[in-house]
Each structure stands twice: as C-alpha cells, then as structure tokens.
Amino acid sequence: MKQAAHAAGFHLAGVARAGPLDPGPLDRVLSLGAEADMAWLRTQRDVRLDPRLLLPGCRSVVALAVAHDGGAQAAEPGGAAVARYARGRDYHTVIKKKLKGLVGAIHGRDPEARALPSVDVGPVMEKVWAQRAGLGWIGKNGCLITTGLGSWVLLAVVLLDRELVPDEPHPERCGDCEACIPACPTGAIPEPGLVDARLCISFQTIERRGAVPETVAGRMGRWGFGCDDCQTACPWNRGKGSESDPELRPVRHPSLDLGELVRLTPEEFRARFHGTALARAGHAGLVRNGALVAGASGEVAVEPELRNLAGSELPGVAEAARWALDRLRGGYR
C-alpha cells in the first residue's frame, strides 16, 4: 500500500485501524460554537466520528500526505498575502488525481475491494487519522505536523473494507513549546489544539460569506487569503518547505496586488482564479478581503476604489470598504 501510495505521488502514507473516534475534542469545539458558520461540522458529527458510517464495512484508513510549497512570507507593501498552500494549482484537483491512481492500484491487486477516497470536503477527520496512522501529530496550533516536512503538508485518506497491518500512532512532539499560541494575531487558539474559527483569519478570509467582524479585520494585517502565522512560528517548520509536489509549486506571485483586488470584476475573477484554491472565497470574498487588507495596513492609494465599494451590493463588501475608509481617514464620510 505504501509503495503504491508513493508511486501515486504521495510523500507520506500510513495505515490506521478503522473505528469510532473519541468524540470529546469535536464536541468541545461544537459546545463553544467555535465551528462558526461551518454548520456541516455539527450536522456531520456522527459520520465524522466513525468512518464505518461513510463506508459500511470499513476496516482500515489509509492516511496520506502531500508536501506543498513552504516558500517565502508574502506580505509586501501594496499587496495582500496568500497562504502558502494556496499559491499553486488547486490542491483538491491535484490530490484527487493521485487518489485515483492509488485506488486504481488497489483495484489492480484486489478488484473486489471497496475503497473510498476523500480529500478535504468529505466528512472525515483527516488530521486525526493521519496521527493514528503515524504520519505526524496534531500540534497546539491545530495542524498536523510531520517531523520530515513540518506542517507544510496537505492530507487525504482512502477508506478500505480490507484489514491492513496498522502503523503505530505518532507521539505528540510539541513538548513544552507554545510558540504558536501568542503568534496568532487574533488569539484564535484559546486552548492547545483548539482553533476558534470565529476568530481565525483563515476561516474569515476563505469560508466566511458576508461581513468579517471588526475584531478580526483590525488584526488581519496583510492576509488576503488564509493565514500561516501559527505555522511560521512553529520550530518544526524551520528549514522545511522545499520538497513541494511539482504541481503545488506557486503559479503566481505569493502576494496579490491590492489595487487589482479592489477593482476585480466577476469576469477577471473567473479568468484569474478558476482552478486555484483562491476560487473558494468567491468574487465577493476576494474583493472584501482586498478592502479589509487596505484598511488594516493603511493603503491610502486605493481610497478612491474603497469609496466606490462602500455602495457595493456584494455580500460583506460595503461593510469592509466602510470599515477600511474609517481606518484610513479616521471617520467615514
């Protein structure tokens, strides 16, 4: 299985025995409301906690990881920073292709096997399975960290109705370190390992539809799509990030031009961002994020565009533009 996974293009692969997961940590997140608008985390609770509800007869979970580029910090004057994982082609497309190769190899060997591949959007706790299958551990920053590639990895799984020899779960290696917790600009890590999405810049700039709360907007600095601050602070990421999958290497400058963002039309959005992870934020989301970064980082050059956007009907954009003008001019008029 591991040879087949490497041949399909995965950097890391491991096996865990399928079974129910401890509901405690997920229920803690839900009891705090820390899932924010991601209602699916609540509605899919039961299936997320037991892969046998997703694939009846599931006996093994093959956990997989692909390294992505851990390149340079993207914050630049006049720009909006993009998280490292999103600078190349859309990883969902890239990883689905690899999963297809792996499932093909499984069926080549065992045509009757039932194998269910999943990446990101499926109701599977990918980090937990990766930890159980020995790939790495869930750090205090909430990310899956590997000793060889740091946390600059993206995850996927194949659920299988066959019993494979399981790997040992990976031990926790954060130790006494807590560097990621104060590194978070919005205080979104209230407890080790627990990320409160309501405060997380990554959630607000990618998943959130509509207005972004001022508490986050005022602290997002130059992040225009995602955020890497709690990973950049992690000592396990020092010197890591050069072993990217070729298709996940940056296809654009890591920083988006703010002037272009606040003027972005739906047609330009489709032409520039289709096929990239940035499409997830939608046209309105990217324009909104551009306005927020302008306000958060004092970009007076785009003030005329912000004045236009203050009357926009795109969800969350007028609020963002007014907030930004407020910040730039000490009061919106």
* Cα radius of gyration (the chain): 21
Residue 69 annotated among the catalytic residues of the structure: no
Q: What is the DSSP code string of 144-176?
A: EEBTTTBT-EEEEEEEESS--PPPPPPPP--TT
Residues 219 and 199 sit within 8 Å (Cβ to Cβ): no
Instruction: List the interface residues with ligand SF4, window 121-140 (CB under 6 A).
Output: 139-140
Catalytic residue chosen out of the listed positions 120, 167, 257, 326:
120
String of contacts with ligand SF4 for each residue 143-172, x by CB under 6 A: --x---------------------------
Q: Which of residues 111-130 bind ligand B12 (CB under 6 A)?
A: 119-120, 124-128
Q: Encoding tokens for residue 83?
A: 């998280």
Q: Which stretch binds ligand B12 (CB under 6 A): 22-30, 96-104, 160-168, 313-321?
A: 22-30
Task: Tell me the two tokens of residue 109.
Answer: 């060997």
Select the residue whose beta carbon is closest to ligand B12 and give its number. 193
Amino acid at 39: A
CB 232, CB 73: distance < 8 Å: yes
Q: Which of 10, 85, 236, 273 binds ligand B12 (CB under 6 A)?
A: 85
Is residue 227 a contact point for ligand SF4 (CB under 6 A)? Answer: yes
Q: Determine, following the binding rule CB under 6 A, whether residue 279 of this chain makes contact with ligand B12.
A: no
Backbone φ, ψ for residue 173 (5° rounding): -125, 15
C-alpha 282/C-alpha 289 separation (Å) is 11
User: Active-site positions?
Assistant: 120
Q: Which residues bind ligand B12 (CB under 6 A)?
A: 21, 25-26, 29, 38, 41, 83, 85, 119-120, 124-128, 138, 141-144, 151, 153-156, 172, 192-195, 197, 200, 202-203, 207, 226-228, 230
